[in-house]
Chain A
Amino acid sequence: MTATDPNAFSQSSSAEQHFSSDLSGRYRLDNIFRIASWVATVTALVVLAFLLIDVLIDGIPRLDWQFITSFPSRSAERAGILAPLVGTIWLLFVTALFAFPIGVGAGIFLEEFAGDNLFARILEVNIGNLAAVPSIIYGLLGLAVFVRVFLPITGGRTVFSAGLTLALLILPVIIVATREALRAVPSSLRQAGMALGATRWQTVREHVLPQAFPGILTGTILALSRAIGETAPLIVIGAQTFVPFVPSFRGTGFSALPIQIFNWVGRPQAEFHVNAAAGIIVLMIVLVAMNATAIYLRNRFQAEKM
């Protein structure tokens, strides 16, 4: 086409006059947007820093050996966290005992055995839904089922019931982590195993699982660290705040660190708030230790694979 029509030409030139690229204005908006995005990110981290510093300043002076080895007391200076600390360690073991084998087994089933049938699809949707259920609802489930229906087995409001509830809570997380770890194992490994005449289970047990194990372990530890920080389900199940003895597996009366912290935060006296801050520091140390283990495992096995 040749643009011989003078009319069309003048139109396009007038359009050219109206169009203003206004680059400097657009770049100014660009800068504002970029700075806003940085401000949002940095603000989140600054809040995290404030939170940690606030807790450290409040709690460090209170943190000593006596605090760790004392039972609860009506006077804030003599109160300690022995019972809740032991309770939290108990919960860690009971939760891991149930959640780890069941979660990993379900993950193996979905990834290696199930294929694409109706059962697998229902299971998948179900796991996605469970992950979005608030933790306090799991507490209600634990209260109705483990504390009441299974009373003869669990002993009621015990570490056993609480551990089972927390295990159900983190089960979806462990299943998802297991599946991701299994998916990362190259399928050539499975094909090689089966080409040599091994059954699916033999291949998984001898070759796939060892490869995926570090990933599974990392995911499990991270899920457990989430369980340890949970407060709401334990309150609903009936964790107690005044436990002047070391809790046992099925004995009535147990406590946990978050419960003790919550109780101290709720007291009107400021001395107990200091105790709460010190308790938070202990809880955070436990969590950081678990996370560091998870990261160490991940890095170590990643380096080994190279």
Chain B
Amino acid sequence: MTTSQLPDSPQNSGLWQPNRQLSKSMELLAKIVFGAFGLVSIATTIGIVLTLIFETFLFFQEVPIWNFLTDTQWTPLFTNSQYGIIVLISATFLTSFIALIVAMPMGILAAVCLSEYAPSGLRKWLKPALEILAGVPTVVFGYFALFFVSPILETFVPGLRPFNGLSAGIVLGIAILPTIASLSEDAIYAVPQSLRQGSYALGATKRETVTNVVLPAALSGIVASFILGIARAVGETMIVTIAAGQNPRLTLDPRVPIQTMTSFIVQVAKGDAPTGSIEFITIFAVGMTLFLITLVLNAFSFWFVGRFREKYE
């Protein structure tokens, strides 16, 4: 490592004469500069909020907020345009819901497996392997959903179209699985060993210990991981854009093409909409809706963890 030296090495001066004034100014300068760097992250948040509010405000001058909330059609790119955000929200809800059906049970079981059943030697390999899954770019997952999962599902799901919510949702579930598994595993791992031993001493089997003692004790962390998973599924863009199609329609049928909030933003941004046009500000209104949904999820998770956290010494 580096060889440490005194600020002013006494080799040539004979006596060490520290320049205290300089040190103090450097200290202050470092503090101010690094504090300013910290401000960048706050500025980011403010920038996001202001941008979304400003453009959404412009949008609601063109489109009444009532129509935005109650229309049941989403046709902003047609001449007879209608702006029912519920169409896009229902599609986002559908894909996220399918993703959760896949990711919640698998994530929690994988977390239990890693922390309770896997021998520690194997665990050292399994965790990084799951992290690789988390590092796969989502555009790759989209490719996989469209060209691998969809054709397989087509063979046994009647009426399945090439672009559909089902395969997008399933692959979305695989994509958020590592998030849920890894965070749940942290929570389960943090449950003190004495609780498990107490349960065994009362005659419970390993499964009974896990389901009745360990999982309830880790509940706040597990729920937090679920909510982060939901937030990721709602905000995920490429998988649903590639595999779920671009057809805004109000349906909960997972076999047909649908359009989520994120894939609408991509569709417009890809089409080079002129700045200030109604299409252009529409993507900010949709982005605002998306941002509010993730904000509510985040706030709920914050509240839940604070309310139900079990503290162990």
Q: Interface residues, chain A, CB within 8 Å of chain B?
A: 21, 26-27, 29-30, 33-34, 36-41, 43-45, 47-48, 50-51, 54-55, 58, 101-103, 105-106, 108-110, 113-114, 119, 122-123, 126-127, 129-130, 132-141, 143-145, 148, 168, 171-172, 175, 196-202, 204, 206-207, 210-211, 225-226, 228-232, 235-236, 238, 258, 261-262, 265-266, 273, 276-277, 280, 283-284, 287, 291, 304
Contact = CB atoms under 8 A, between A and B. Distances in A.
A232 B297 CA distance: 21
Nearest to B30: A201
B159 interface: no
B124 interface: no
B174 A41 contact: no
A277 B146 CA distance: 12
Contacts of A130: 41, 44-45
A256 B88 CA distance: 28
Contacts of A33: 207, 210-211
A102 B33 CA distance: 9
Contact of B110 (A37, A138, A228, A232): A37
A137 B235 contact: yes
A141 B287 CA distance: 10
A231 B2 CA distance: 40
Interface in B130-148: 130, 132-133, 135-144, 146-148
Nearest to B132: A48
Contacts of A134: 231-232, 234-237, 262, 290-291, 294
A236 B265 contact: yes
- Which of B37, B228, B290 has most A Cβ within 10 Å? B37
B40 A171 contact: yes
B20 to A, nearest CB: 9
A123 B38 contact: yes
Interface of B: 1-2, 4-7, 18, 23-24, 26-27, 30-31, 33-35, 37-38, 40-42, 44-45, 47-48, 51-52, 54-55, 105-107, 109-110, 112-114, 116-118, 126, 129-130, 132-133, 135-144, 146-148, 174, 177-178, 181, 203, 205-208, 210-211, 228, 231-232, 234-238, 241-242, 262, 265-266, 269-270, 272, 275, 283-284, 287, 290-291, 294-295, 297-298
A291 B134 CA distance: 12
A212 B96 CA distance: 39
10 contacts: A37-B112, A55-B140, A105-B33, A109-B31, A123-B41, A134-B291, A168-B40, A200-B27, A265-B143, A283-B140
